[in-house]
Structure 1
Amino acid sequence: MTNANIDIARTYFQAVQTGDMATLGELLDEAIVWHQPGVNQFSGDHKGRDAVFAMLGRMMATSRGTFAIDEIRTLMGNGDLVAATIHFSGRHDGASMSMDGVDLLRITGGKITEMWLFSGDPATEDAFWG
């Protein structure tokens, strides 16, 4: 199961990188719980695929379409969990961020059911998102 879950995670990140919303919709469980870190306008738990898509849409609007996961470095699996080391960035209105992160995905029945995100520089990310 671990290799299958790593493949699902890889497909998820490729869909994020290419803006393939149809594939994202297929991979995110309808009842997903998304744990967004920090103390900014997007922080907290987002419950349900629609809430996650709404948050991601607001993030893209805030970043003027520049927010991106620009590198997926390593995918590691352990049962129903997949950890990914990534690099992400964005800019808007003279502000920018560029940092490493870790995304932890719980994959059950071929769907991403829970997501935890970790930022390499939480203070910079909070300042960026406001």
Structure 2
Amino acid sequence: MENQQKQLVTEFLTAVKLLDLEKIGSLLDPEVKWSQPGNNDVSGLKNSQQEVFEMVGKMFAITGNTLKLNAFNSISINDNRVACQLHWTAEKVSGEKLDVYNTDIYTVEHDKISRVDIFSADMTQEDNFWKS
């Protein structure tokens, strides 16, 4: 069971890296709960796949489509939760850059990601970057 959850999260993150929206959508529960940290224009709890896609769309709009998942690793498992470290970069038209590591905890239920909790290694950088 743990290997299935690890594989599902690996497939999800690979799809994120490749911007494969169809695959991403197939792996997220339609009612996924997504906790985006901070006090900025994209933070807060998202309560559905649609709200998550709206948040990501806003992130791409803010960054002129430069938001990029560069790498993910350190995948660890605890029951139906999978933790991993992600490295993100982006740049605004103004030249302001984002270069941050996050630790994400994915909860897998019924072969879908049902909850995502994001922890930023540099919340100040993220808050400053994601505020308009």
Question: Which of the five TM-score ranges fits, normalised by the shorter chain?
Answer: over 0.9
**Aligned AA for 1:51?**
E
**Shift of residue 85, structure 1, vs aligned partner:** 1.0
State the 1:2 CA deviation.
1.1
- Which residue of structure 1 lines up, in the alignment, with residue 50 of structure 2? 50
Q: Report the identity percentage.
A: 29
Indicate the larger mover: 72-81 or 26-35.
72-81
d(CA) in 2 for partners of 1:129, 1:104 = 21
Give me the whole-angstrom Cα distance separating, in 2, the residues matched to 1:52 and 1:101: 17
Letter in structure 2 aligned against 1:106: T
Tell me the distance in 1 between the aligned counterparts of 2:120 and 2:91: 16
Structure 1 regions of 5+ residues with no counterpart? none
For the aligned residues, what is the CA RMSD? Answer: 0.7
Task: Describe the SS at the equivalent of 1:41.
Answer: coil
In the TM superposition, what is the alpha-carbon distance from 1:17 to its structure 2 partner? 0.5
Q: How does 1:14-53 map to 2 (within 5 A)?
A: 14-53=14-53
TM-score of the two chains, using structure 1 as the length reference: 0.97
Q: How many residue pairs end up in the alignment? A: 130
What is the CA–CA distance in structure 1 between the aligned matches of 2:24 and 2:86, rounded to whole Å? Answer: 18
Distance 2:59 2:100 in 1: 16
Residues of 2 paired with 1:104 and 1:90: CA distance? 22
3-state DSSP class of the match of 1:64? coil
Q: Which 4+ stretches in 1 moved above 4 angstroms?
A: none
2:97 matched to which residue of 1?
96
